[in-house]
Amino acid sequence: MRIPAACRTVQVLPIVVGVVFGWVNAVSAADKATISPEDRAFFENRIRPVLVKHCFECHSADAEEVGGKLLLDTRDGLRSGGESGPAVVVGKPDESRIIQAMRYDGIEMPPEQPLPEAVINDFVKWVQRGAPDPRVPVARPDAKTVEAAKTAVNKQDGKPPLWSLQPRTEPAIPEVKNRDWPLDPLDRFVLARLESANLAPTHDADPRTLIRRLYVDLLGLPPTMEDVEKFVSEHELDRVKAVQAVVDNLLARPQFGERWGRHWLDVARYGESNGNDGLGRNPTFPHAWRYRDYVIDAFNNDVPYDRFLAEQIAGDLLPSDSPAERDRHLIATGFLAMASKPAKAMNTNFDMDVVADQIEVVGTGIMGISVACARCHDHKFDPIPTRDYYALAGIFTSTETMWGLAANEKLTASPTDLHVLKAAPEVLPPADFVETVLVLESNTGVPKAIPKPKWPVGTPLAIGVRDKAKPADCKINVKGDAKKLGEVVPRGFVTACGPESSDALKIDPKQSGRLQLAEWLTQPDHPLTARVMVNRIWLHLFGQGIVRTPDDFGVYGERPSHPELLDYLANRFVEDGWSIKHLIRSIVLSRTYQLSSDAPEETLAADGENIFLTRHNRRRLDAESLRDSMLAVSGRLNLEPADGSIIRHRDILVNLAGNLHQPSNHRSVYLCYLRSSLPPELAAFDVPDFTTVTGQRDVSTIPGQALHLFNNPFVIEQAEHFAQSIMKESTNDRDRVRSAFRHALNREPGQNELGQAIELLRLTASELKSDNKAWSSLCQALLATNEFRYID
Amino acid sequence: MNFSRRAMLQSTSCGFGALALNALCSEQVAASSGGGLETRTPTLAARAKRVIFLCMSGGPAHLDTFDYKPQTGQKKHPGSVFRFRQHGESGLGISELLPETAKHADDLCVINGMHADTGIHAQSFLQLHTGDRLRKRPSLGSWISYGLGTENQNLPGFISLNTSKSSIYSSAFLPSIYNGTPIGVNGENMSLATINNVSSDHLPLSTKRRQLDFVQAMNRNHLMQRPADKKLESVIESMELGFRMQSVAPDLLDISTETKATLDDYRVGQQKKSTGTCKVSDFGRQCLLARRFAEAGVRFIEVSHGSWDQHKNHRRDLKANCEVTDAPVAALLGDLKQRGLLDDTLVIWGGEFGRPGLTPEDGKDETGHNSNGFTFWLAGGGVKRGHVHGKTDPTGARAVEGKVHFRDLHATILHLMGLPPNDLKYWHAGREHRLTGPEGGKVVHELFA
């Protein structure tokens, strides 16, 4: 009897099913990596196109009716076959149904006419080679699974099967064989998983790599050569102590908050202008920078995360001890006033659009669950019914959102009140300041006079929210249309989340309910809040989350690669008083974090996507770190926080203003993050548009980035300053080159590199008759290298 | 020891470049369509090789441009308030506001039965570009570049002039090489708009090349110590494309080499002031750049103008918008024709919706939005010439015959480019996506020559 081919395809790794649903990518990813480049090329060039062209119409998931229950659009389908048995018998073309069919032997496929001889021969050859098939089983849930997720919402037991909504477990810290390896308990979760897969972690990162990684991860800045040398010598004496010392030092620096605050500002879709309202109008948010400073301070002061959230959602409702604290609380609510609003003109849904943004930032940003779909219909996949949406919406329709004057352009948004701060200093515009950007009368094109604001010039103001005078529950907007109203839904939270401890939380009918929303979100047993934040932190330290879709913990998001680890860390986070610094410290002191990003060939093959954490991930500097690193290397970096924003006195339409950005040597976080008009020094490197929650930025590779490195005035200027400082240090060209390498790359140049650099200098100097330009050219080159722009 | 890497480089027929190219694009593209920006052969017989989309943002008034609605019966009703005349051998009816475009009547294929889902600008504009009203999805130009690559490896496949939100030219979940390259945002000084950082005079190109050689030598060395890192390889490749763009794009962007007659035909730099909603955007310059990019092999070029959202002062602002765009559009059509490019260049004109008609002599001069019936026209690229497809009711309020939804328009454009519209798909976030959405689009075969 023939053994079905499917049984003979040996899985390279055991499937680890720590998840509710079965469509994990982990195994296939590793599996995929074992295919040789030749096999892959052969499949892609000779096999796949034929399958697509001649077979998929009837033999793919998209086929209207699948012929003979045979699916050829997945590797598994092809191997396990259809009604008439496996399509492929590895190594035996004559016994493979697919070959028989192509030869019109018994079955005749494709039915219209036989394929050319050469094509059939390709298939024969392919089967002889073992039918290597690189196709990754994609995350395609079957209808049954989706149905299960949907119907689960309606189940009375309130325990939907979506993993992220399950209460956190209390996983035991696993036993490991290699007991000397772990430094932190978290390492045992990683190692246990590795050992069960017969994998081993790669070697530790060398100290030079590690110190650079720590500086960039914790501060967003590179170390100096002195920092590196000091660490290397201390590391030699006592590695653990050396790392601890440097980590504690870095965590205490104000640059930490600037780095990590920036990550949160991405989540909070922080922007200093509304962004294009759909009609090209883009009013500034002149006071938004206060929220930026609030976030940076919160990270530096390690405000507990539950407190941090409460301040942002309901700061105006919290008691305070001093005017300064009151200011801080009010500023924090800017989190909810940051919407990129569509134009108000002709938009009857405008108010609900603002609410939608607030629900989205709370849902996706804090809970990792998009509630947005439920605005118009029950969420198709995640257990969020429309009723939940409007239960939340009632909280925000009972809230007054204050974005300010919107540049006095009522067509984009009506002007609102603002928080008036008590302790913040009054700052007047420069004496000679006259606003030159004026709104034009749409009929005549004549500039309109700027109305006198209700606050005296210089009054410290903040965007944010406060309760409306008469809070009220919200009616369902049928299909999201504010004109078609359905039943009233009492204000409340996302029912599918639980948690049990929140049953007693009642919304005071005289309040909006934001305070209770904050309380609900930060219940220690809330299934999502801690997991989502732990994952965000992990992501910024490893380049990928334990859940690789940081903003989507829903059915279509990915499952955690290490579910126990995630729960363990989330428990620890909550138990440690929601301390972000504490969590970051634990993670970077772990052995897992300190692994090299290099790994032996076998490891790379077995764990291609690094799901198992066999090594660290190489990462590109993000836009801010790249710019800050260039400033640091050129010696021009101003580490003082910038005071306010270049638009703090300008309530204007950005689209009418031309370029508002000004050169600055402060850290990038203090640049002016105007939506639809991003800082040109950052724009090329995947800075999001800050209109929605961004947990993880894209890392694209596009020629605009190369052009930025070649030609951007900022880059050229830094190269020139860098060159000047190098040239001052010595008169000897070789010493200068060594110094340039030390500054930019924290290492000495190799002999070859030294020679190439000297040659570049010689030729450039003789061509341009300028030593300065030659040195600038070399310095710019160093700033453009991958070695400078990537962290191992 | 980098043995395996060397072995890999030797074993693949295309060597380094192909590896980098594979890394540049997703596995999926590589598998289905060859990958990257390389030119790919369309699956269907292609009638057009490239697209120039003249995007009239804000909702151009169809009844006063291409969809003539005279008064019928005794009682005055909404309709055209500007005079129309028949033009060319085809006798196409075109408004008096577009005398220059009218000279090309016999090249136009007018669709009078367009309809869309919403009269909200931002949503309909997004739907026009991406098929979706709400979410960030790949733009039409990105889908086409994904399907076909581009004809000039020294340039991006998709360029968007006088653009607005990045969501309009985003590749969204498609690989980022298919992202549109913006040239100027509506409201900027469009006479100076360019590709950011495309040139600088701090070093001559020869010195930059030497500098880049040094960088790339370091990058390759860096890569040899980090074998199998495809990201690092793709950076090396992308730096070369960036470098090549420096030698091609600045010249393309420099229109001073055009003759004075051409510059005049396109009315380059001639619009000095905004009139109501009609903003200065040096539309002629952008049309001329579009022709230059088309000629150079860019796959999809969008030129926006706006806004056509003339709520008040309908007559004055519409007239201004027409005046500013009429001659440049005509110049573009003529220029393409004269250069033999119109045959395989599909020119598209239209906006996110139309407008209700005014009723003559009732003293009103104010219009709103109408997504139930409006006009697009196509020219070149294998469509019928001097042809009208579909119609709206006698007041122009809604499409009644030959209805074409944005989905259908998208399907038709893809089909003309040789791409099977409902099969051009990309797997993302748990399902397959396509430009024409879950409903799919109908190819309007009646438009084809």
Tell me the per-residue pLDDT of B165-219, one tens digit each, with 9 for 90 and over. 778 998 888 877 788 888 887 766 788 888 999 999 999 999 999 999 999 999 9
In the predicted structure, residue A645 carries a pLDDT above the cut 70 = yes
Q: Which residues of A touch B119 (CB under 8 A)?
A: 346
Query: What pairing do the DSSP bridges indicate for beta strands B387-389 and B374-380?
Result: unpaired
At A246, is the pLDDT very low, low, confident or very high (cuts 50, 70, 90)?
very high
What residues of chain A, 700 to 719, have a C-beta less than 8 Å from chain B? 700-713, 716
Q: Which site among B117, B162, B165, B422 would you substitute to test the A interface, given the most A Cβ atoms closer than 10 Å to its Cβ?
A: B165
Among the partner-chain residues A342, A776, A786, the one whose CB lies closest to the CB of B235 is A786
Q: Which site among B214, B305, B369 would you substitute to test the A interface, given the most A Cβ atoms closer than 10 Å to its Cβ?
A: B214
Among the partner-chain residues B203, B232, B241, the one whose CB lies closest to the CB of A786 is B232
Q: Give the model's pLDDT for residue B35.
A: 55
HSE, CB side, 13 Å, CA atoms: give it for residue B442: 9
Task: Name the phi and psi angles at A155, rounded to 5.
Answer: -65, 145
Smallest CA-to-CA distance from A438 within A661, A652, A660 is with: A652
Q: Give the rounded percent of residues in chain A with a pLDDT score beyond 90.
A: 63
Quick check: is B142 in a domain?
yes
Task: Name the phi and psi angles at B32, rounded to 5.
Answer: -90, -30
Mean pLDDT lowest among A248-257, A573-582, A701-710: A701-710
Q: Is B307 on the interface with A (CB under 8 A)?
A: yes
In the predicted structure, residue A655 carries a pLDDT above the cut 70 = yes
Low pLDDT (below 70) residues in chain B:
1-35, 187-188, 429-430
What residues of chain B, 250 to 279, have a C-beta less than 8 Å from chain A? 273-277, 279
Residue A686: left (phi > 0), alpha (psi -120 to 50), or beta?
left
At A439, is the pLDDT very low, low, confident or very high (cuts 50, 70, 90)?
confident
Q: Which residues of B touch A36 (CB under 8 A)?
A: 11
Q: Is A41 on the interface with B (CB under 8 A)?
A: yes
Smallest CA-to-CA distance from A5 within A80, A103, A113 is with: A80
Task: Name the phi and psi angles at A242, rounded to 5.
Answer: -65, -45
Q: Is A656 on the interface with B (CB under 8 A)?
A: yes
The stretch A736-754 carries a mean pLDDT of 97
Model pLDDT for residues A298-317, shown as the tens digit of each residue: 999 999 999 999 999 999 99
Task: Name the burial class of residue A766, with classes exposed (0-12), middle (13-18) and buried (19+) by CB atoms within 10 angstroms of its CB.
Answer: exposed
Cα distance between residue B282 and residue B301, in whole Å? 16
Contact yes or no for B444/B412 (Cβ under 8 A)? yes
Quick check: is B28 in a domain?
no
Measured in angstroms, the CA of B219 and the nearest CA of chain A are apart by 6
Task: Name the phi and psi angles at B350, rounded to 5.
Answer: 165, 175
Measured in angstroms, the CA of A511 and the nearest CA of chain B are apart by 32
Q: Is the pTM of this model over 0.80?
A: no
Please give the angle made by the CA atoms of A647, A649 and A652, to the nearest 5 degrees: 70
Name the E strands within A408-481: 419-420, 461-462, 464-467, 474-477
Measured in angstroms, the CA of A370 and the nearest CA of chain B are apart by 13
Q: Give the model's pLDDT for residue B75.
A: 92
Exposure string (b/e) for A391-415, b if CB count within 10 Å is 16 or more? Answer: bbbbbbbbbbbbbbbbbbbebbbeb
Question: End-to-end distance of chain A based on CA atoms, in angstroms?
Answer: 52
In the predicted structure, residue A12 carries a pLDDT above the cut 60 = no
Asked whether the beta carbons of residue B242 and residue A278 sit closer than 8 angstroms, the reply is no
Q: Is B218 on the interface with A (CB under 8 A)?
A: yes
Q: Give the model's pLDDT for residue B21.
A: 33
Measured in angstroms, the CA of A615 and the nearest CA of chain B are apart by 13
Helix axes of B230-253 and B283-296: crossing angle, nearest 10 degrees = 120
Domain boundaries, chain A: 5-128, 258-495+506-521, 711-791
Asked whether the beta carbons of residue B238 and residue A764 sit closer than 8 angstroms, the reply is no
Mean pLDDT lowest among A85-89, A516-520, B289-293: A85-89
Q: Give the model's pLDDT for residue A100.
A: 86
Break chain A down into helix, strand, coil percent, rounded to 5.
Answer: 45, 5, 50
Q: Which residues of A touch B369 (CB under 8 A)?
A: 346
Q: Is A376 on the interface with B (CB under 8 A)?
A: no
Asked whether the beta carbons of residue A556 and residue B429 sit closer than 8 angstroms, the reply is yes
Break chain B down into helix, strand, coil percent, rounded to 5.
Answer: 40, 20, 45
Among the partner-chain residues B31, B196, B231, the one whose CB lies closest to the CB of A704 is B196
Cα distance between residue A286 and residue A284, in whole Å? 6
Identity at A133, one-letter amino acid code: D
Q: Give the model's pLDDT for residue A247.
A: 98
Instruction: Residue B388: give the domain boundaries.
Output: 41-229+242-447
Distances (CA, A) of A359 to A272, A514, B119: 20, 12, 25
Model pLDDT for residues A132-164, shown as the tens digit of each residue: 887 765 433 444 444 454 444 444 344 447 899
Contact yes or no for B227/B4 (Cβ under 8 A)? yes
Task: Name the phi and psi angles at A686, rounded to 5.
Answer: 60, 35
Number of helices followed by number of strands (H, E) in chain B: 12, 15
Instruction: Give the H/E segment covering residue B328.
Output: helix B314-338
The stretch A565-583 carries a mean pLDDT of 98
In the predicted structure, residue A82 carries a pLDDT above the cut 70 = yes
Q: Chain-wide mean pLDDT for chain A?
A: 88
Asked whether the beta carbons of residue A280 and residue B430 sit closer than 8 angstroms, the reply is no
Q: What is the CATH number of the domain that holds B344?
A: 3.40.720
Q: Is A433 on the interface with B (CB under 8 A)?
A: no
Q: Is B431 on the interface with A (CB under 8 A)?
A: yes
In the predicted structure, residue A753 carries a pLDDT above the cut 80 = yes
Asked whether the beta carbons of residue A556 and residue B430 sit closer than 8 angstroms, the reply is yes
Measured in angstroms, the CA of A321 and the nearest CA of chain B are apart by 43
Cα distance between residue A325 and residue A321, in whole Å? 6
Among the partner-chain residues B164, B187, B207, the one whose CB lies closest to the CB of A767 is B207
Distances (CA, A) of A382 to A14, A20, A157, A496: 29, 14, 17, 9
Measured in angstroms, the CA of B364 and the nearest CA of chain A are apart by 15
Helix (H, G, I), strand (E, B) or coil at A791: strand
Q: Give the model's pLDDT for residue B307.
A: 85
Q: Which site among B189, B195, B218 would you substitute to test the A interface, given the most A Cβ atoms closer than 10 Å to its Cβ?
A: B218
Q: Is B185 on the interface with A (CB under 8 A)?
A: yes
**Count of pairs with CB atoms under 8 A, one residue in A, one in B:** 212
The residue written with tokens 């009506």 in the block is: A414
For B320-323, which contacts have Cβ atoms below 8 Å and span 24 or more sequence positions? B320/B275, B320/B276, B320/B278, B321/B56, B321/B60, B321/B277, B321/B278, B322/B65, B322/B95, B322/B97, B322/B98, B323/B97
Task: Name the phi and psi angles at A573, rounded to 5.
Answer: -60, -50
The stretch A203-213 carries a mean pLDDT of 97
Task: Name the phi and psi angles at A431, rounded to 5.
Answer: -55, -35
Q: Which residues of A touch B12 (CB under 8 A)?
A: 37-38, 41
Q: How many domains in chain B?
A: 1
Smallest CA-to-CA distance from A21 within A169, A197, A192, A160 is with: A160
Asked whether the beta carbons of residue B204 and residue A658 sit closer than 8 angstroms, the reply is no
Q: Which residues of B touch A703 (CB under 8 A)?
A: 156, 238-239, 241-242, 245
Mean pLDDT lowest among A371-385, A541-555, B11-25: B11-25
In the predicted structure, residue A25 carries a pLDDT above the cut 70 = no
Q: Give the model's pLDDT for residue B187.
A: 64
Nearest chain B Cα to A755, which residue? B214
Looking at per-residue confidence, does A7 or A279 come out higher?
Answer: A279
Q: Give the model's pLDDT for residue A639.
A: 98
The residue written with tokens 């450039």 in the block is: A764
Mean pLDDT lowest among A53-62, A381-390, A543-552: A53-62
Q: Give the model's pLDDT for residue B429.
A: 61
Asked whether the beta carbons of residue B196 and residue A277 sit closer than 8 angstroms, the reply is no
Nearest chain A Cα to B177, which residue? A702
Q: Give the model's pLDDT for residue A689.
A: 80
Nearest chain B Cα to A42, which residue? B12
Mean pLDDT lowest among A496-510, A580-594, A649-663: A496-510
Q: Taken in order B16, B19, B22, B23, is the CA torsion positive or negative?
A: negative
- Predicted complex: ipTM over 0.85: no
Nearest chain B Cα to A444, which residue? B276
Asked whether the beta carbons of residue B122 and residue A275 sit closer than 8 angstroms, the reply is no
HSE, CB side, 13 Å, CA atoms: give it for residue B192: 5
Task: Name the burial class of residue B9, with classes exposed (0-12), middle (13-18) and buried (19+) by CB atoms within 10 angstroms of its CB.
Answer: middle
Smallest CA-to-CA distance from A106 within A116, A118, A94, A117 is with: A94
Quick check: is B6 in a domain?
no
The stretch A108-126 carries a mean pLDDT of 82
Q: Is A113 on the interface with B (CB under 8 A)?
A: no
Q: Is B422 on the interface with A (CB under 8 A)?
A: no
Cα distance between residue A89 and residue A560, in whole Å? 35
Q: Give the model's pLDDT for residue A656.
A: 86
Asked whether the beta carbons of residue B214 and residue A756 sit closer than 8 angstroms, the reply is yes
Query: What pairing do the DSSP bridges indicate for beta strands B404-405 and B108-115?
Result: parallel
